[in-house]
Chain A
Amino acid sequence: MLHPEIESMTREQLRQLQFERLKKTVERVYENVPFYKEKFKEKGIEPGDIKSLDDLKILPFTVKQDLRDNYPFGLFAVPHTDVVRVHASSGTTGKPTVVGYTQNDINGWSDLVARCVAMAGGGPQDVVQVGYGYGLFTGGLGLHYGAERLGASVIPISGGNTKRQLMLMQDFGTTILCCTPSYALFLAEEAAEGGMDIVNGKLKSGIFGAEPWSENMRKEIEKGMGIKAYNIYGLSEVMGPGVSMECECQCGMHVMEDFFIPEIIDPDTGEVLPFGSKGELVFTTITKEAFPLLRYRTRDISVLREEKCECGRTFVRMDRVMGRTDDMLIIRGVNVFPSQIESVLLEIGETEPHYLLVVDRKDNLDLLEVQVEVSEKMFSDEVRKLEELEKKLRHQIGSVLGIQAKIKLVEPKTIPRSEGKAKRVIDKREL
């Protein structure tokens, strides 16, 4: 353990710590974030009403729409000069959701991820290859700062460029690989094809996340690379990677409870459910200064377990995320909302857009095909015009979703209609 005094503190000590930090956070948002002050007034509550951790449930929820409504910096709790970093993630409409960090927040996040890398067996002697994307996405920089804080040698290679990834992995002696699990499998295959022996090389473990993956995938990666493959979880709204992380037992991810208070709720009623129940994950941040969030609904479905872990850590564990309460997909590590396609079709003048996303995985790479019904409005007698339409759709959809998709024009009424919510996605991947 990197921080044994924290990671194995008793539950009573932890609850006390959480309560103190929660109180400070509630006061901070009440004073500094008009959105929250409004919400408190609507509910007829005040910061003083939080007298114990049990009072967490009287606080209002926060949802992604609140972030969009307050784009870009409406939910920040500090003056602009104190914000030293912003990150952004994809949104369903044109605007991304924006998060911010003070220097203290960055320091805290770095400590958090350092703890995670240590949980994967990392230390100052390790060479950590960060294959998550660097940029507005929190994955790359999150792992970077954490591994660096730990004292490891960081290779900030970002995503893509497979040949170079493998070459540097070999030449630099990478011991810990950080990237999406599907990319890890892809690397393993490319390495095997090129005659590179990863199994007997220096690589000893991997920290994989940013997309859902199964136990089967874990076994494949561990076998194909000869490493221990750890699951990491996070979301930029709450912090970035490092909200929770697996330990050597690989039996659920320990939530970093000194930084976040987790809850599981019934997504339809909002009722808080006991440990062991399946429901929607909710997090309250209790250390962040720039962008504190109260009871943020993640829309990820999981279970929280309080049983003791063999590793000695007293933080609760969450199961691997088993689904979403909304229609978001993760394709090649990018968050994709099927409804983003609607905005593109509406823009080209389509009043009743009928489309279908077909997601598949071939050779460990995610493939997206978007089927669009050709309405009378879109149709032209000239092949050239239809090909131009295809090209325009491919370009617009690629730009809105953030990943390239194949476009297939289909006849009307071929995409199934439904009574209730339209089924917009066929996901053929076995994750």
Chain B
Amino acid sequence: MKVQQISVFLENKSGRLSSLTDVLGKAGINIRALSIADTSDFGILRLIVSQPDEACRILKDAGFTVSMTDIIAVEVEDRPGGLAAVLGILENAGINIEYLYAFLEKSSNNALVVFRVEQIEQAIKLLGENKINVVRGEDVYKL
């Protein structure tokens, strides 16, 4: 149920992001989803890719600072109120959300929302009980 997300440290300099995506592209790695958290001094790039372990190795070899984080990818109905429903469940149970970002699934009418939460096991269990689909890692990488 856990998905591996790659995080990369990026200086606020032009060309860094394009250089990174170039490296991944040349290695045949497909990016499934991405998000950037930025401050005035630096950014943290978060990626869901087709082959996380290989991507990690390739990026490190190319000189990037990389780490892996466990996140969950939750299927949310692509309609108004879809996200609010899921958030409500997590909030009521006191699950702390560090950050989230979303992208659309190609093959269905759902959106996939990536969550980083503090209590990951608890969140997986809770969402399962509420019949919300938490997509497996292998499936996310293959999307």
Choose, from B6-14, B87-95, B107-115, the stretch at the interface: B6-14
CB neighbors of B among A372-399 (8 A): 374-376, 379-383, 386-387, 390
CB neighbors of B among A392-420 (8 A): 408-414
- Which residue from B39, B63, B67 sits with its C-beta under 8 Å from A412? B63
Is B96 part of the binding interface, using a Cβ–Cβ cutoff of 8 Å? Answer: no
Task: Indicate if the CB atoms of B66 and A376 lie closer than 8 Å.
Answer: yes
Task: Indicate if the CB atoms of A409 and B41 lie closer than 8 Å.
Answer: yes
| 0 or 1 for each of B25-45: is its CB under 8 Å from A? (1 = yes) | 000000000000101011010
Is B122 part of the binding interface, using a Cβ–Cβ cutoff of 8 Å? Answer: no
Interface size class of B (residues with CB under 8 A): 20 to 34
Task: Indicate if the CB atoms of B67 and A381 lie closer than 8 Å.
Answer: yes
Report the separation of the CA atoms of residues A413 and B62 in the bound assembly, to the nearest whole angstrom.
Answer: 10
Give B39's nearest chain A residue, CB to CB. A383
- Which residue from B41, B44, B46 sits with its C-beta under 8 Å from A408? B41
Give B7's nearest chain A residue, CB to CB. A381
Give A390's nearest chain B residue, CB to CB. B41
Report the separation of the CA atoms of residues A412 and B62 in the bound assembly, to the nearest whole angstrom.
Answer: 10
Q: Which residues of B contact A381 (CB under 8 A)?
A: 5, 7, 44, 46, 67, 69, 116
Within the complex, the shortest CB–CB distance from A245 to chain B, in Å, comes to 45
Q: What DSSP secondary structure best describes chain B's contact surface? A: strand
Report the separation of the CA atoms of residues A387 and B46 in the bound assembly, to the nearest whole angstrom.
Answer: 17
A409-B9, A411-B10, A414-B11 known; A386 and B67 CB under 8 Å? no
Is B65 part of the binding interface, using a Cβ–Cβ cutoff of 8 Å? Answer: yes
Give B38's nearest chain A residue, CB to CB. A383
Task: Indicate if the CB atoms of B67 and A380 lie closer than 8 Å.
Answer: yes
Residues of chain A at interface, number, CB under 8 A: 18
A410-B11, A411-B11 known; A379 and B63 CB under 8 Å? no
Report the separation of the CA atoms of residues A414 and B16 in the bound assembly, to the nearest whole angstrom.
Answer: 12
Within the complex, the shortest CB–CB distance from A405 to chain B, in Å, comes to 14
Task: Indicate if the CB atoms of B16 and A386 lie closer than 8 Å.
Answer: no
Task: Indicate if the CB atoms of A411 and B39 lie closer than 8 Å.
Answer: no
A410-B11, A411-B10 known; A379 and B65 CB under 8 Å? yes
- Which residue from A379, A387, A408 sits with its C-beta under 8 Å from B9? A379
- Which residue from B5, B65, B116 sits with its C-beta under 8 Å from A376? B65
Within the complex, the shortest CB–CB distance from B136 to chain A, in Å, comes to 21
Q: Which of A381, A410, A412, A413 has the most CB of B within 10 A?
A: A381
Q: Which residues of B contact A379 (CB under 8 A)?
A: 7, 9, 65-67
Within the complex, the shortest CB–CB distance from A152 to chain B, in Å, comes to 49
Report the separation of the CA atoms of residues A380 and B10 in the bound assembly, to the nearest whole angstrom.
Answer: 12
Within the complex, the shortest CB–CB distance from B10 to chain A, in Å, comes to 7
Within the complex, the shortest CB–CB distance from A378 to chain B, in Å, comes to 8
Report the separation of the CA atoms of residues A239 and B65 in the bound assembly, to the nearest whole angstrom.
Answer: 49
Within the complex, the shortest CB–CB distance from B48 to chain A, in Å, comes to 13
Within the complex, the shortest CB–CB distance from B45 to chain A, in Å, comes to 10
Task: Indicate if the CB atoms of B39 and A374 lie closer than 8 Å.
Answer: no
Give A383's nearest chain B residue, CB to CB. B37
Q: Which residues of A contact B39 (CB under 8 A)?
A: 383, 386-387
Within the complex, the shortest CB–CB distance from A147 to chain B, in Å, comes to 46
| 0 or 1 for each of B113-129: is its CB under 8 Å from A? (1 = yes) | 00010000000000000
Report the separation of the CA atoms of residues A405 and B41 in the bound assembly, to the nearest whole angstrom.
Answer: 15
Q: Which residues of A contact B69 (CB under 8 A)?
A: 381
Report the separation of the CA atoms of residues A152 and B44 in the bound assembly, to the nearest whole angstrom.
Answer: 61
Q: Which residues of B contact A382 (CB under 8 A)?
A: 44, 98
Q: Which residues of B contact A383 (CB under 8 A)?
A: 37, 39, 44
Report the separation of the CA atoms of residues A378 and B83 in the bound assembly, to the nearest whole angstrom.
Answer: 34
Q: Which residues of A contact B7 (CB under 8 A)?
A: 379, 381
Within the complex, the shortest CB–CB distance from A8 to chain B, in Å, comes to 60
Report the separation of the CA atoms of residues A408 and B10 in the bound assembly, to the nearest whole angstrom.
Answer: 12
Q: Which residues of B contact A387 (CB under 8 A)?
A: 39
Q: Which residues of A contact B11 (CB under 8 A)?
A: 409-411, 414
Q: Which residues of B contact A376 (CB under 8 A)?
A: 65-67
Task: Indicate if the CB atoms of A374 and B44 lie closer than 8 Å.
Answer: no
Task: Indicate if the CB atoms of B10 and A386 lie closer than 8 Å.
Answer: no
Task: Indicate if the CB atoms of A411 and B98 lie closer than 8 Å.
Answer: no
Q: Which residues of B contact A409 (CB under 8 A)?
A: 9, 11, 41-42
Is B64 part of the binding interface, using a Cβ–Cβ cutoff of 8 Å? Answer: yes
| 0 or 1 for each of A347-381: is its CB under 8 Å from B? (1 = yes) | 00000000000000000000000000011100111
Report the separation of the CA atoms of residues A414 and B15 in the bound assembly, to the nearest whole angstrom.
Answer: 14
Report the separation of the CA atoms of residues A269 and B34 in the bound assembly, to the nearest whole angstrom.
Answer: 60
Q: Which residues of B contact A413 (CB under 8 A)?
A: 63
Within the complex, the shortest CB–CB distance from B36 to chain A, in Å, comes to 10
CB neighbors of A among B41-62 (8 A): 41-42, 44, 46
Give A409's nearest chain B residue, CB to CB. B42
Closest 7 CB pairs of A and B: A381-B7, A381-B69, A413-B63, A374-B9, A379-B65, A383-B37, A374-B65
Question: Which B residues contact A (CB, under 8 angstroms)?
Answer: 5, 7, 9-11, 16, 37, 39, 41-42, 44, 46, 63-67, 69, 98, 116
Question: Which A residues contact B (CB, under 8 angstroms)?
Answer: 374-376, 379-383, 386-387, 390, 408-414
Q: List 21 A-B contacts (CB under 8 A).
A: A374-B9, A374-B65, A375-B65, A376-B65, A376-B67, A379-B65, A379-B67, A381-B67, A381-B69, A382-B44, A386-B9, A386-B39, A387-B39, A408-B41, A409-B9, A411-B9, A411-B11, A411-B16, A411-B65, A412-B63, A412-B65
